[in-house]
Each structure stands twice: as C-alpha cells, then as structure tokens.
C-alpha cells in the first residue's frame, strides 16, 4: 500500500537517496491521483482479504462481505483478469509460507505490517504487504501490480527500508540473521528475490541511508539527475535535469560534415533521453495551462482538430432504417480485442477456450539500445523476411 503520509516514503527512496534535494523541490507539486494507483490499491486490498481467508484469519462469510464491498467501491477497476492476477500473487505468497513452515512449524506470517524505519529515516514508515519470519530469515514480500516497468528485488531501496523497519519490529522476538526480499509482479509474470545478511542491511541503513535521509529531510544536498528523475514530480521544471540533458549533446564529433555510424549510435541514445525530457516539459505546460490557466511566454491554447460524431446513435440508426437501409448495411459487428476479451472473461477461460486460436506473428524489427535483453536479429535476410 502507498506510504501516504511519509515525507521520505519508501516507494520514493531510490529518488531521494540519489538526489536528496528533490524532496524539497517536489513539495511545490500536489500528488495527482492516478487510475493506476487506484487500481493498485484495489489489487492490494483484494490480495489481503484473499490471503486472510487462505490463512484462516477470516471466515468465508466475512470474506464474501468484504469482497462485495470492495467490488462496489472499485467497480471501475473490477474485472476477471485483475482477480486472476491477484490470485496468482496470493498463491505464490502461500507457497513461500508453506515452504517456510516445512522448515519450521514456528514460521509466522504478518500481512499489511506497518514498518517504522525512523531510526534511519526521519519520520520514516511504510506498510509491508507480507512479512514471513522463519529460522532466522526475515522475508519481505511486495506486490507490484503495475506492468509498465519491471521491478527487481536486487538492491531495491524500498524493500530494504521495509526490511529495516520489520527488523526493528521483530528483532526482540526472533533471532534474525538473514533478510530475503521478494517482488511479485503478476501482470508481467515476474518474481524476483534477493538476499543479504542482517549486518549488511544495518550497515547500509547506518552509513548510506541515514546521512542522505537527513539531507533530504532538511532540503539539503546536491541535485543528481539520473534514471530516478522519471518518477520525480519536479522533473519538468528541474534545472539540474535540464542541464544534464543539454550537456549530453555537447560532443566533440570527429568527422567534420557527416556522422559516422558510431557517432549516430551515441547520438540516438541521447536523443531518446532528450525526447523524454521534452515530453515531460510539454505535458507539464499543457496540464498547467489547461487545468490552472497558466500562461507561458510564446505559447497559447487553441482549439485542436476534432472529428465528427453522431449526436444520438439510436436516433441515427432509426432514421437510416426508416429510409430503407438494412441493419446489415448500417451496423458492423466486431469481436473484442484480445486484451479486452482477456479482461472480460479472464486469462484462464480465454486460454482454455480460444488459446489455440491465437497466433503471434513475427514482430517488425525495432532498433533498440544494446542493453536490451532481446536477441539480436543478425542477418539482412532475416530482417527482410520479418517485414
Ligand atoms: S528531476 Fe531529477 S535531478 Fe531534478 S530534483 Fe528530481 S530527481 Fe533530482
């Protein structure tokens, strides 16, 4: 669940640990509610009650009542596909707990555990989705319901902060030696785990987190643009980020008139970053102009192009039928898209009923940075065949 009130939230830790003054700069911006955040909140709440039922913490009757209330509250987000992804997550958590219990019957599981890591981060707290403790291992499990960005557990500051908070809460009761952190991202079918010994976690908290958190809390420190800017609310107006983007383009190219292939390779990578930055600036200005009436030097709002539309489809259809046109002529029947169909009937039913009728044609070649995990198409013949 989101760490709604923490100034230095665990979910934003990658950013404020890398760029401490971003916290102060972000204060000027309001938290805009997003449909993704709402969908995530629904998925988390549903996952929690499904787990409580599975663990015997609530009875079936209470579970059904809670599910009905949730479905009503989040009716815009409720669909079979979401339920199946949540169930996949719940199943995986149960597997982890069963595994822990197989080693020791003393294994414990806590859901929605509030974790306080203020020993390292001023006023720092959060909520860990699942904490399992067994045989000296503290296991933090986090559900990520997004599918835009794949998130890994390795060196993940959010999970490490949760681990510090959970260690604070349970250290008096259990002899914790090791920390395991897992991210389950069901919509990407992605599970990622990482482990470290408790001494390394505490050392990270004391020597890396604490000094940076103090700077961030006090609005001090050096601006440090990087990948983390993507999630910064000030990314459109931050001068440090702008300077970094413009700096990228100051190359000393060797050839006087035209770029070499190597130079083009370098250029295209930075053009991508420049375009991202330009879009952030443009989106921000548009939102400010349309939502808050702000004016920007040299820019104005005008009416954009629009397309014609029927004022009332039923009345239009009647008029056409009255004029003698047959239904087969004026209507077209389309099957839902694959994604929409999966959403409506659920992935499981979709695969059972029509899974064998789905084909995935070869994708058109795309030029991507060398770090991309996909295998390179190596021959000109293979490239031509794929068109
Ligand atoms: S945009 Fe980047 S550099 Fe600027 S404040 Fe945000 S995180 Fe820091």
Averaged pLDDT score across all residues of the chain: 92
Tell me the percentage of the chain whose pLDDT exceeds 70.
95
Q: Where are the beta strands (DSSP E) in the chain?
A: 108-116, 125-134, 137-143, 178-185, 190-197
pLDDT digits (tens, 9 = 90+) for 48-86: 999 999 999 999 999 999 999 999 999 999 999 999 999
Which pairing describes strands 108-116 and 125-134: parallel, antiparallel, or unpaired? antiparallel
Same domain, 280 and 169: no
Q: Is pLDDT above 50 for 174? A: yes
Give me the pLDDT at residue 382, please: 62
Query: Which residues line the pocket of ligand 1, CB cutoff 6 A?
Result: 15, 19, 22, 25, 223-225, 228-229, 232, 234-235, 238, 240-241
Q: What is the pTM of this model?
A: 0.83
Residue 202 and residue 283 in one domain = no
Candidates 18, 29, 215, 240: which one to mutate for ligand 1, based on the most atoms within 8 Å of Cβ?
A: 240
> Is-contact 237 23, C-beta < 8 A?
no
User: What total number of domains does the chain contain?
Assistant: 3
For the cut 60, the answer to whether the pLDDT of residue 3 exceeds it is: no
CATH code, domain with 62? 3.90.320
Residue 222 lies in a domain: no
Residue 387's pLDDT is what? 58
* Distance from C-alpha of 224 to C-alpha of 250, rounded to nearest angstrom: 19
Give domain status of residue 96, yes or no.
yes
- The answer to whether 109 and 130 have CB atoms below 8 angstroms apart is yes
Report the C-alpha gap between 382 and 387 in whole angstroms. Answer: 9
Q: Based on the fold, state whether residues 245 and 352 are members of the same structural domain.
A: no
Residue 381 falls within a domain, yes or no? no
Atom index in ligand 1 nearest the CA of residue 244 equals 3
To the nearest whole percent, how much of the chain has pLDDT over 90? 75
The lowest-confidence range among 121-135, 245-259, 271-285 is 245-259
Shared-domain flag, residues 206 and 232: no
Residue with CA nearest ligand 1 atom 5: 22
Whether residue 105 sits in one domain with residue 35: yes
Count how many residues are written for the chain. 387
Q: Quick one: average pLDDT of 219-245?
A: 94
Report how far ligand 1's centroid is from the alpha carbon of 161 (Å): 21
242, 257, 292 - which closes a domain: 292
Range in 258-262, 321-325, 351-355 with the lowest mean pLDDT: 258-262
Q: Is residue 364 part of a domain?
A: no
Domain extent for 70: 13-217
The answer to the question of residue 111 being in a domain is: yes
CA 233 to ligand 1: nearest atom: 6
Local confidence band at 386 (pLDDT 50, 70, 90 cut-offs): low
């Amino acid at each position: 669940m989101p760490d709604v009130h923490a100034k230095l939230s665990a979910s934003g830790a990658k950013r404020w640990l890398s760029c401490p003054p971003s916290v102060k700069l972000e204060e000027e911006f309001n938290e805009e509610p997003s449909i993704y955040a709402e969908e995530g909140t629904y998925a988390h709440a549903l996952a929690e009650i499904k787990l409580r039922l599975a663990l015997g913490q609530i009875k079936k009757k209470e579970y059904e009542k809670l599910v009905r209330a949730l479905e009503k509250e989040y009716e815009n987000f409720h669909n079979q596909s979401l339920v199946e992804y949540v169930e996949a997550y719940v199943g995986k958590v149960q597997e982890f707990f069963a595994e822990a219990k197989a080693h020791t019957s003393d294994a414990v599981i806590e859901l929605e555990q509030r974790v306080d890591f203020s020993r390292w981060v001023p006023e720092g707290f959060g909520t860990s989705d699942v904490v399992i403790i067994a045989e000296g291992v503290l296991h933090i499990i986090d559900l990520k319901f997004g599918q835009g960005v794949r998130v890994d557990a390795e060196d993940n500051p959010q999970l490490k902060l949760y681990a510090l908070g959970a260690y604070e809460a349970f250290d008096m009761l259990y002899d914790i030696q090791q920390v395991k952190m897992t991210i389950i991202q069901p919509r990407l079918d992605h599970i990622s785990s990482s482990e470290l010994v408790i001494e390394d976690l505490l050392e990270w908290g004391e020597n890396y987190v604490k000094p940076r958190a103090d700077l961030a809390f006090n609005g001090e420190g050096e601006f440090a643009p990087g990948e983390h800017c993507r999630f910064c609310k000030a990314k459109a107006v931050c001068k440090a980020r702008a300077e970094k983007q413009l700096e990228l383009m100051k190359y000393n190219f060797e050839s006087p008139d035209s770029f070499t292939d190597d130079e083009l390779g370098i250029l295209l990578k930075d053009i991508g970053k420049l375009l991202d930055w330009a879009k952030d600036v443009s989106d921000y200005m548009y939102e400010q102009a349309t939502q808050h009436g702000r004016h920007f030097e040299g820019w104005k709002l005008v009416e954009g192009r629009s397309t014609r539309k029927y004022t009332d489809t039923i009345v239009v259809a009647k008029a056409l039928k009255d004029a003698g046109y047959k239904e087969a002529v004026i209507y077209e029947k389309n099957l839902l898209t694959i994604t929409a169909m999966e959403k409506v009937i659920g992935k499981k039913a979709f695969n059972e009923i029509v899974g064998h009728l789905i084909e995935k044609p070869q994708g058109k070649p795309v030029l991507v940075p060398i770090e991309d995990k996909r295998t390179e198409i190596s021959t000109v013949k293979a490239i031509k065949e794929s068109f």
